[in-house]
């Protein structure tokens, strides 16, 4: 009899426990409904999430060359070269498809015959200076114009003091480190080397870093690899079989307006 009473009490206890658990769960559900993540009540307790900061628009510097204006004179102008410490501050031209390759060897900005010619690149080179090597040509003249001031780089002190070349393009300023200046033979560089081949590009780089000529200056500590982009300024000497070359390696490409 006693055992039956204990059993009934146990069942009653379990029943009450179950009912309490159901009530507790129900209250919890109601609370969650009241504070659901999509309801306004929940939002009152949320920590406001800061909106992602908007990136400030890049402020681009002005380009010192007004290409739109200069191309009204001659649409063949593709760039501008400035070499600090010298009077080299000229437009760079590239002859049109209808013109001969070296048209600007003997023609000025107005496409008129001129013994002084112009500073120019050949059609083999890209207008945007994206090639591994871009060769820029200019005369060495008795009147001191065009690329005549490159003679200064024969002197070691001047070579060490002046180490920057600027090439201005539409919406870009390219800065080159001047690293080598030397007498070379008269071969057409773009025809003598296939710069799409790493071994030939490396061969040319080696020649600029260790020129065979006794007339040479090389800047120590400047690393040049086949991943770089080079410019070579080429002018004549007093010998038909020679050219004087000044080499620069691209160290900065700044966007402009």
CATH code, 138: 2.40.260.10
Alpha carbon distance 140, 47 (integer Å) = 73
Count other C-beta atoms under 10 Å from residue 24's C-beta: 10
Alpha carbon distance 208, 231 (integer Å) = 11
Query: Does residue 60 lie within any of the structural domains?
Result: no
- DSSP letter (8 states) at residue 159: H
Domain stops at, among 43, 58, 75:
43
> Is the per-residue pLDDT at 22 higher than 80?
no
Do 191 and 94 share a domain, yes or no? yes
Query: Does residue 140 lie within any of the structural domains?
Result: yes
Do 23 and 148 share a domain, yes or no? no
Structural domain range at position 14: 2-43
- DSSP letter (8 states) at residue 175: E
Number of domains comprising the chain: 2
> Any bridge partners for residue 176, and if so which?
165, 250
Residue for token digits 């769960």?
25
List, for residues 218-244, the tens digit of each pLDDT value.
999 999 999 999 999 999 999 999 999
Do 116 and 33 share a domain, yes or no? no
Query: Does residue 95 lie within any of the structural domains?
Result: yes
Do 240 and 179 share a domain, yes or no? yes
List, for residues 47-93, the tens digit of each pLDDT value.
455 555 656 677 899 999 999 999 999 999 999 999 999 999 999 99
Do 29 and 101 share a domain, yes or no? no
Do 34 and 113 share a domain, yes or no? no
With cut-offs at 50, 70 and 90, classify the pLDDT of residue 214.
very high
């Amino acid at each position: 009899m006693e055992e039956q009473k204990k059993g009934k009490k146990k069942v009653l206890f379990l029943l009450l426990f179950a009912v309490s658990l159901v009530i507790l769960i129900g209250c919890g559900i109601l609370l969650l409904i009241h504070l659901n993540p999509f309801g306004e009540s929940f939002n009152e307790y949320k920590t406001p999430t800061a909106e992602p900061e908007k990136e400030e628009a890049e402020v681009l510097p002005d380009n010192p060359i007004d290409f739109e204006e200069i191309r009204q004179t001659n649409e063949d102008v593709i760039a501008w070269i400035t070499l600090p410490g010298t009077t080299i501050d000229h437009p760079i031209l590239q002859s049109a498809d209808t013109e001969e390759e070296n048209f600007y060897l003997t023609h000025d900005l107005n496409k008129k015959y001129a013994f002084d010619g112009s500073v120019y690149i050949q059609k083999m080179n890209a207008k945007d200076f994206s090639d591994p090597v871009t060769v820029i040509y200019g005369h060495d003249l008795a009147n001191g114009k065009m690329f005549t001031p490159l003679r200064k780089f024969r002197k070691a002190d001047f070579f060490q003091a002046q180490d920057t070349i600027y090439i201005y393009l539409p919406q870009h300023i390219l800065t080159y480190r001047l690293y080598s200046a030397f007498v070379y033979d008269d071969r057409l560089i773009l025809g003598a080397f296939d710069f799409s081949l790493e071994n030939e590009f490396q061969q040319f780089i080696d020649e600029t870093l260790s020129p065979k000529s006794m007339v040479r200056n090389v800047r120590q500590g400047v690393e040049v690899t086949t991943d770089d982009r080079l410019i070579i300024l080429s002018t004549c000497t007093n010998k038909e079989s020679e050219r004087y070359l000044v080499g620069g390696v691209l160290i900065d490409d700044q966007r402009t307006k």
